[in-house]
Amino acid sequence: MLTTKLSCRIASVVVAIGVASVVAGGPAFAQDVIKVGAPLPLTGAVSPEGLKQKRGYDIWAEAANAKGGIKAGGKTYRVEIVYTDYASNTPRAVQSAERMITEDKVQFLFAPFGSGATKAASAISEKYGIPMLAPSASSAEIFNQNFKFIFSTLTGNETVSVPIAKLVTAKNKDIKRVAILARNDLFPLAVAQEFEKAVKAQGLEVVTSERYAIGTMDHSAAITQMRAARPDWVYASGYINDLMLIRRQMNDLGLKAQVITLIAGPAYQEFAKTVGPLAENITTMSWWHPAVRYKGKDIFGSTEAFNAAWEKKYGGEADYIEAGSAACGAILQMAIEAAGSVEPAKVRDAIAAIDAETFYGRVKFAPGGQINSLQPPVLQLVGGKPVVLWPDAIKSGELRFLPK
């Protein structure tokens, strides 16, 4: 009787020790997980963009885990992305990033949406020495802070302005008068200002340059004014809804030009679908497009393979934010493998030293952390589909002009 009780007790102690050792073994097990924090605007004003980033991160994490995880220093790590919704509220993005580092113990971060929130969150990644990769930040103000832990997959705004200015002037000497309409907002305004500089450098005359407020419902006054200035080239910046409205109103009010350039929107599939025949021959720029063709050493292997994986998981095509988000994951993975460690500081050095081809293009970062190896393509919509006009290496068509 006593022995039975005793053996029961011993047995329960053994079980308890066993359980305890499994639990205590928890941290050792958790070591085999790479935790990446991603504060995103999953609700609120910029939620469509936040969801795009999430799709990009997810496809990478899934691909990495499907191949057995990330190998570093003789160990294999599973990828886990920790998401929080900062509801399109930048201060909350910063708090989320900090909480992820201190509470969730993430080893790496993916940045929130846009230049503004990325800049704000970069102070946190810098403070804790956690590498942060950003797929939707291009403004110079982030990268001249001399921070060591922020990296972005978008080149500066001048790289989406200078190539098209050179291309158009080289192809047609009759294009002399340029009219510019910019959304009065951080990125659209900055990119339009870069464009203005770029066309002036090519010797073109800027005949009007106007700004419109966020939430503008009617562009007829600006378009009437542009029409009076008889431009050869019309350039408008904004987001897809602004540009759809502007293109329609240009047509309604009889504003014609040989070149119409709109950024950033026509690179999204919805644009051609919704604007219909008016999308024909619109030129635009994008940091990346499914029509580009790169071979890489990253997990996706090539643009075509990435496109196929995307089509399979989500249907349709990825845009530059979605591809850039997946690229952030692919770059992080390459850096961890190169460093042979998951220690944030070592991985940071490996990201800074990276110079590799990927499905997204060549990846190499300037000292401030901004990618400087990409050549964002110049695109033109022909038959509702984008044709790459530049760079020459991936070109799939020649620039067409609209009738005078």
Partner 1 sequence: MIYLQIAANGLVLGGLYACISVGFSLVWGVLNVINILHGTFIVLGSYVAYFGYAHAGIHPFFSIVIAGLVLYALGYVLQAGIINRVVTAPVLITLTLTFGLDLVLNNAMLVAFTADYRAVTLANPLGSIEIGPVFLPGDRVAAMALALLLTVLLYRLLRDSSIGRAIVAVRMDREAATLMGVDVKHINAVTFAIGAFMAGAAGALLSIIFPISPLNSQVFLGKAFVVCVLGGLGSVPGAMVGGLVLGIIESFGSYWFGPEHAVTLSFGLLLVLLFVRPSGLLGRRGYE
On whether the CB atoms of residues 259 and 402 are closer than 8 A, the answer is: yes
Least CB distance to partner 1 at residue 13 (A): 53
Cα–Cα distance, 254 to 358 (Å, whole number): 44
Least CB distance to partner 1 at residue 318 (A): 15
Three-class secondary structure of residue 178 per DSSP: strand
Cα–Cα distance, 217 to 237 (Å, whole number): 15
Least CB distance to partner 1 at residue 91 (A): 21
Least CB distance to partner 1 at residue 231 (A): 15
Measured from the CB atom, is 145 or 249 closer to partner 1? 249
Measured from the CB atom, is 244 or 342 closer to partner 1? 244
Least CB distance to partner 1 at residue 90 (A): 18
Q: Enumerate binding residues for partner 1 (CB under 8 A).
A: 43, 45, 47-48, 181, 184, 210-213, 215-222, 224-225, 228, 240-241, 244-245, 248-249, 251-254, 270, 274-276
Phi, psi dihedral angles at 371 (to 5 degrees)? -60, 140
Short-list 335, 294, 299, CA closest to 133: 335
Measured from the CB atom, is 102 or 220 closer to partner 1? 220
Measured from the CB atom, is 42 or 354 closer to partner 1? 42
Measured from the CB atom, is 251 or 341 closer to partner 1? 251
Phi, psi dihedral angles at 237 (to 5 degrees)? -115, 150
Cα–Cα distance, 37 to 35 (Å, whole number): 7
Q: Alpha helix locations (H) across 31-154? A: 47-66, 90-102, 114-128, 140-143
Least CB distance to partner 1 at residue 230 (A): 13
Name 79's Cβ contacts closer than 8 Å, sequence gap at least 6: 33, 34, 36, 60, 61, 64, 65, 69, 70, 329
Cα–Cα distance, 145 to 126 (Å, whole number): 10
Measured from the CB atom, is 99 or 256 closer to partner 1? 256
Residue bearing tokens 């935790």: 35
On whether the CB atoms of residues 93 and 112 are closer than 8 A, the answer is: yes
On whether the CB atoms of residues 314 and 56 are closer than 8 A, the answer is: no
Measured from the CB atom, is 89 or 373 closer to partner 1? 89
Least CB distance to partner 1 at residue 43 (A): 8
